Amino acid sequence: MKAIVMHRRGGPEVLRYEDFPTPEPGPGEVLVRVRACGLNHLDVFTRRGEQGRRVKLPHILGVETAGEVAALGQGVTELRLGQRVVSGPGIWCGRCEFCRAGQENMCAERLIVGVDVHGGYAEYIKLPAYTLAPLPESVSFEQGAATLVAFGTAWHMLVDRAALKPGETLLVLAAGSGVGMAAVQVGIHLGARVIATASTDDKLARAHDLGADETINYTRQPRFARAVRKLTDGRGADVVFEHVGADTWKDSVAALAIGGRLVTCGSTTGRWGKTDLWSLFAKQATILGSFSSTRANFHTVLRLVGEGQLQPVIDSVLPLSAAEEAHRRLEARQVFGKIVLRP
């Protein structure tokens, strides 16, 4: 099969389009013919060797994949050949206390597809059958491959972790990113008032189209906490949706209302952020970490996308062979929503 293969860590140029052995599904596994694979910042960190896990080389990136069942391993009865499927949030053990409680994202033995095992930048991928979900008829392969990470992550952050309530104010940072635009939509869906930040007016206009009530251009207003106070009669945001990290952390904490919750899932600009502890305890604020999503989150967002209540925003669809260019665009932040590769 054709695949984008990494033989070493480094810049986008290490992504090579070449022949690679087609995987064979073992017992309980399924071979999926890849029709679309969504790009994520995790792919960039994995390519550079910066995500903290040892990746065996040669390696194939790609966290989220949509396609058709091409072959069934021994004992797989829940899926049929040709069925449209989408890959779920990783591979988990199914036995530990967290897995049994439906918290698969807390499983210590959890493997990340595209990091710990070969991902979807290829014509075929093999995955355990239990990690796949049927793709609703109304959802395209491209939309399916742009749903899991963005909406699953945003849903877990805002529903399971921050417990966002109707009528609360939600501040979404970097609303032009895949997870940011998902957070804007989940916030609106939950009945919150959404304030979105982004680096350009163009991205803010798109966030506004997605339903954001107010927008802040943080290139013009780097001290965005002040702008948030102005928009909330001095009150601040009940929930701050963080995934930017070092560059925005200080203002994110400052933007919190009394009793506010800051929930974070990423640190694309750096992992160290200074926290004003006085502000934290005086406001009785809460900082929450969030990682990936659960199987239940995944099924919920897939259903809502199928019903048209949530809409994956796709920046562009590129051929698989253009993975290098796609990574350059992602790194340059010249995207609104997801880039999807199509073999």
- Cβ proximity to Zn ion: between 45 and 291 the closer is 291
Q: Which of 107, 184, 257, 287 binds Zn ion (CB under 5 A)?
A: 107
Query: Residue 99, interface with Zn ion (CB under 5 A)?
Result: yes
Q: Which of 1, 96, 159, 246 binds Zn ion (CB under 5 A)?
A: 96
- Cβ proximity to Zn ion: between 248 and 294 the closer is 294
Query: Residue 106, interface with Zn ion (CB under 5 A)?
Result: no
Query: Residue 42, interface with Zn ion (CB under 5 A)?
Result: no
Structure tokens at 94: 């199914």
Secondary structure class of 84 (helix, strand, coil): strand
Sign for the CA dihedral angle at 205, 264, 233, 163 comes to: positive
Query: Residue 93, interface with Zn ion (CB under 5 A)?
Result: yes
Check: CB of residue 183 under 8 Å from CB of residue 172.
yes
- Cβ proximity to Zn ion: between 241 and 298 the closer is 298
Check: CB of residue 119 under 8 Å from CB of residue 125.
yes
Q: How far is the CB of 331 from Zn ion (least distance, A)?
A: 33
Sign for the CA dihedral angle at 247, 333, 329, 126 comes to: positive
- Cβ proximity to Zn ion: between 92 and 249 the closer is 92
Spatial neighbors of 89 by CB under 8 A, at least 6 apart, are 104, 105, 131, 148, 152, 292, 293, 294, 295, 297, 298
- Cβ proximity to Zn ion: between 38 and 128 the closer is 128
Please identify the residue of the shown chain whose CB is closest to the bound Zn ion: 107
Which among 39-47, 92-100, 277-285, 333-341 is the span making contact with Zn ion, rule CB under 5 A? 92-100
Residues 71 to 90: which contact Zn ion by CB under 5 A? none
Query: Residue 340, interface with Zn ion (CB under 5 A)?
Result: no
- Cβ proximity to Zn ion: between 71 and 111 the closer is 111
Check: CB of residue 336 under 8 Å from CB of residue 315.
yes
Q: Would you call 219 exposed, middle or buried from its count of C-beta atoms within 10 A (0-12, 13-18, 19+)? A: exposed
Footprint of Zn ion (CB under 5 A): 92-93, 96, 99, 107
